[in-house]
Amino acid sequence: MRVRFAPSPTGRFHIGGARTALYNYLLARQTGGSFVLRIEDTDQKRYDPTAQDEIMDSLRWLGLDWDEGPDIGGPFAPYKQSERLLIYHNLIEELIDRGSAYYCFCSPERLSQVRNEQQKQNLSPRYDGYCRSLSLQDARARAKDGESHVVRFKTPKEGKTTGIDLLRDPIIVDNINIDDYILLKSDGIPVYHMAAISDDHLMEITHVFRGSEWLPTFPLHVLIYEAFEWEQPQWIHLSVFLNPTGKGKLSKRTAMDPKSGVKSVYTLDLKELGYLHEAVNNWCALMGWSYDDHTEIFPMEDLIEKFSLDKLSSSPAAVNFSKLDHFNGIYIRELPSQELKRRILPFLQEAGYRVEDETLESIIPLIRERIHTLDEAVEMAGFFFQETIHPDPSLLIGKDMTASQSAFAAQRVYEVIEALPSMECDSLENELRNLADELNLKASQLFGILRIAVTGQSVSPPLIESMEVIGKSKVLERIQEAIALLSAQSDTK
RNA sequence: GCCCCCAUCGUCUAGGGGACCAGGACGCGGGCCUUUCAAGCCCAAAACGGGGGUUCGAAUCCCCCUGGGGGCACCA
């Protein structure tokens, strides 16, 4: 089995592409086949020189390594279409010789004029066949003379064409509805219809995954295969991703709207947002594919083992980022500590913290259940690394307490901790609970004051364990500061 | 306008004529646990778009309608 992922380097790499690449990869790895990366850069106008790197970086991040591609070569090199122009030219010559394609000298102006008139009459815009019956000899001569021209496919005017897609019923279209599409542009570069079809054949691709936006031109592609008398691959047209509401194709516009819940549609952004590639793969896989009526967690090995074409869905899927968050939380909780540490580190460093390995190591168990994305570690655990924190003074006042009562409690905590031989958390907790009893406070009242004093946050990792990590002197320092802040407040209660 | 595709809870989905007064998951609501927040556990609400057929029997098959999506470039 040979599959290929064939993106165009025209912009940023989005999650729809990630899913298509994933399915290709899964099939290749499951069957021991080959996964080919091919760059379809036949559009010189939309070409983005940074795009190929982003495609490859994204695939690498996701762990979707390819067996043949522009960077590593392979038996069917080159893998960039711009480097295969000669191949297409020869094939187009062959197609002309076979009577399935013809030169067309119509100017863009004439073409748009024809289109306009057709639209005015409510007809489908279609090439009117002006050059279709030019004598081949004359046309060749004109082309050789340098007259600007394209080459068009000579679509049969009668009959029907049937496309077989693995996910749906046969798609049968009247040939009269298929345009004489341009195969070769006047700049000598082929369009997708020519290049992709040729390469899939030449590279011996057995299964083609592509977006459902190709369904309308699917019959044309079948016709091209027939014209060359080539054997067709298995076709799988994947449905598009929809906006979270299920209305409209997922777009970067949606991602701009915070209400949509769409953090970004770009794969590499997801990495920056603190998502694990394991979760992204799992999430993508399940939009359009399912295994059974209850299994949802599929690490890559399981995906490779269990993926199957017959469980693919043909209906479009709305993306749901809260589900991604859910998956991400699960994978974060299951990641080995060393690995989680390694992945969180860059986010803390990015936030400007100097992170000692040992500190981070002891923090991991305190935060791993509390974060859904890696970047949340910054917010959750920043206080461990800050030299000083700046708690909101009003939050330092305990529940149903006055400022001076709170200050007194804090003072007593200070004394208790100062007297303690170590910050070992079992004994620390014991001491503090005893103190709460002694002060006639609920544990939650005392811990509340302390939490704000030590972490600066009303939501934090477990307090006692956090204090143990922060260390005695720094904890005492922060309590001291809290007492000062409390003493400066009047008892308004 | 023309062509093509799709249709089960808000969302992702299971379902392949009787096993379905439709199952799982996210989210939402409630509860338990609890030093906050999570995590975990438990409970609840929530769907077969409509109409015709076929059949003893339809979420499942067929047709129509509706809705949604995609396409109609010298883009992919």
pLDDT computed for residue A30 by the predictor: 97
- Nearest residue (CA) to C1' of B38: A370
Active-site residue, from A157, A252, A311, A493: A252
User: How many angstroms separate the CA of A167 from the C1' of B19?
Assistant: 27
Over residues A24-49, the pLDDT tens digits come to 999 999 999 999 999 999 999 999 99
User: How many angstroms separate the CA of A211 from the C1' of B14?
Assistant: 24
- Nearest residue (CA) to C1' of B34: A444
Say which nucleotide is closest to residue A182, CA to C1' distance: B74
Does residue A62 register a pLDDT over 90?
yes
Cα angle vertex A211, ends A65, A324, to 5°?
65
Supply the pTM of this predicted model: 0.95
A120 versus A415: which is more confidently predicted?
A415
pLDDT computed for residue A133 by the predictor: 93
Over residues A160-169, the pLDDT tens digits come to 999 999 999 9
- Nearest residue (CA) to C1' of B74: A185
Question: Helices A472-487 and A443-455, interaxial angle, to 10°?
Answer: 100
What ipTM was reported for this prediction?
0.95
Instruction: For residues A176-198, give the mean pLDDT.
Output: 97
- Positions on chain B within 7 A of a protein C-beta: 1-8, 10-16, 23-27, 35-40, 68-76
Query: Is A306 one of the catalytic residues?
Result: no
User: How many angstroms separate the CA of A219 from the C1' of B66?
Assistant: 28
User: How many angstroms separate the CA of A320 from the C1' of B26?
Assistant: 8
Instruction: For residues A391-418, give the mean pLDDT.
Output: 94
- Nearest residue (CA) to C1' of B13: A290
pLDDT computed for residue A493 by the predictor: 47
pLDDT computed for residue A253 by the predictor: 81
pLDDT computed for residue A391 by the predictor: 94
Does residue A174 register a pLDDT over 90?
yes
Over residues A121-142, the pLDDT tens digits come to 888 899 999 999 999 999 999 9
Interstrand relation of A150-153 and A241-242 (parallel, antiparallel or unpaired): unpaired
Over residues A68-87, the pLDDT tens digits come to 999 999 999 999 999 999 99
Instruction: For residues A332-342, give the mean pLDDT.
Output: 97
**Structure tokens given for A223:** 């016709």
- Pick from A433, A388, A435, A427: nearest CA to A408: A435
Across all residues in chain A, what is the average pLDDT? 95
pLDDT computed for residue A212 by the predictor: 95
- Pick from A171, A196, A189, A182: nearest CA to A79: A196
Does residue A492 register a pLDDT over 70?
no
Say which nucleotide is closest to residue A333, CA to C1' distance: B39
pLDDT computed for residue A224 by the predictor: 98
pLDDT computed for residue A252 by the predictor: 82
Say which nucleotide is closest to residue A215, CA to C1' distance: B4
Say which nucleotide is closest to residue A325, CA to C1' distance: B26
Over residues A219-275, the pLDDT tens digits come to 999 999 999 999 999 999 999 999 888 888 888 888 778 888 888 999 999 999 999
Order of all β-strands in the sheet with A34-37: A34-37, A2-5, A207-211, A234-238
User: How many angstroms separate the CA of A239 from the C1' of B46?
Assistant: 26
Instruction: For residues A444-461, give the mean pLDDT.
Output: 96
Does residue A102 register a pLDDT over 70?
yes
